[in-house]
Structure 1
Amino acid sequence: MRNVATVTLSPATQGTTVTWAMDGPSPLIAKIMSLFFDADTMIGGDFAQGLVNLKAIAEI
């Protein structure tokens, strides 16, 4: 699959809000797999760790 990852930075009262999203077409096999597998459970931890890493780098 080919997806576009977007990181959006928005000013917040105490710092910056970071939103990380991926968008793209979903082939038939991915649609079928989504019935049986939860993507957030499978890769959500990786995204969360990536945001923690980004925060650490940004605050240096």
Structure 2
Amino acid sequence: MRVVATVTLSPATQGTTVTWAMDRTSPLIAKIMRPFFDKDTMIGGDFAQGLVNLKAIAEK
């Protein structure tokens, strides 16, 4: 499986808008199993920690 993550930062009225996209190529079995897994549970913590880290870096 190949995963490409893209983070886009755009100026906003009060701060910055962060858009995080993930694109991947998956084998057939992964596509079949995908609906049975809660993606927020799987990567939600990493996403939240990534935003905390990004905020800390941006405010330096």
Provide TM-score, normalisation by structure 1.
0.85
User: Which deviates further from its counterpart, 23-32 or 2-11?
Assistant: 23-32
1 or 2, which has the higher strand percentage? 2
1:41 Cα shift?
1.8
SS in 1 for 2:6: strand
SS in 1 for 2:8: strand
Cα deviation digits, residues 25-44 of structure 1 (max 9, x gap): 22212112213211222111
Unaligned runs of 5+ in 2: none
Unaligned runs of 5+ in 1: none
Residue identity (%):
88
Counterpart in the other structure of 1:29: 29
